[in-house]
Every structure is written in structure tokens, then in C-alpha cells.
Amino acid sequence: MKPAACPLCQPAAPEQVLWQDARCRVILVDEPDYPAFCRVIWQAHVAEMSDLTHAEHQHLMRVVLAVERALRTHLRPDKINLASLGNQVPHLHWHVIARFQDDRHFPDSVWAPPRREHAATHPLPDKSAFCAEIARILA
């Protein structure tokens, strides 16, 4: 996939962006079952973690863990799920997902068939405070 055809090479809608710097951005994914589903996207078109330099992958994981920490503080989930897959869009990005025992797929992955139809969704109680928490951790 060439960058010109890559959806993650396009800028995110400004209202989706929770935090960003020159190297990566954190967005809130438009996912009805998981309204607090976050994605950390490397800005450059790179496929794998091991394509990054040591300093780059340290930075990316620092941002991923900041999002994990902020989700734990703001939502008190039963578990955090982290995943970097990229089979459909081979542009490095991390899914950071707060999981709850009453969510649509628990205890399966969010990519498995759903376990329940009418599931709790656990939105962020305060998106601005959540953004501020990520920025605070990364400051």
C-alpha cells in the first residue's frame, strides 16, 4: 500500500484527535460498541514496530501507555487490551481498548463474534478531562 492510498496517512478529523505531536497522534475511534476506543497512530507510513528506531518505538510505547493509564483512571475497566495488527492497513497503529465484563465481546477480543447484543458501552465521562490527563502524563 502506497501512502497516497493509505487512510492513516490522511489527517484525522480535528474533533477525533485527543493528543498529538510530530511523531504520533491519539484519536478516539468512532466505534459504537466501544465509544472510548483509542488508537495511537504513527504519523509516518511505516509498517512494523521493528521498522522504528529504538528512540521512536520507545516514544510510541510511552504514548500507548499514557493512553492506557488515562483509560484506567477515567473508566476503571476490567482489563486493557493493546494490539498492533495492521493487516488491512499496514501503517503502524495501536488499538488501546478499555474492556468490561459486560461489554459486547468480553472475555473475547473485540474482533471475535459478539457475545451479547445489548451490551454496556462505557463512554468517557469527560472527554476534555481525558485529553488533559493524557497531556499531563506525557508532559
Binding residues for a copy of itself, per CB under 8 A?
47-50, 57-58, 61, 65, 68-69, 72, 78-88, 90, 99, 106-109, 111-113
List Cα–Cα distances, 8 to 27, 45, 91, in angstroms: 11, 8, 7
**CB nearer a copy of itself, residue 101 or residue 129:** 101
Q: How far is the CB of 9 from a copy of itself (least distance, A)?
A: 17
Question: Smallest distance, Å, CB 1 to a copy of itself?
Answer: 11
What values do phi and psi take at 16, rounded to 5? -85, -20
Q: Are 97 and 60 in contact (CB under 8 A)?
A: no
Q: Which is nearer to a copy of itself, 11 or 114 (CB)?
A: 114
Report the residue number, 72 or 136, with the smaller CB distance to a copy of itself: 72
Cβ neighbourhood burial of 85 (10 Å; 0-12, 13-18, 19+): exposed
CB atoms within 10 A of CB 118: 6
CA atoms within 13 A of residue 66's CA, in its CB half-sphere: 23
Q: In angstroms, give the least distance from the CB of 121 to a copy of itself.
A: 17
Q: Which residue's CB is nearer to a copy of itself, number 25 or number 95?
A: 95
Q: In whole angstroms, how close is the CB of 61 to a copy of itself at the nearest point?
A: 6
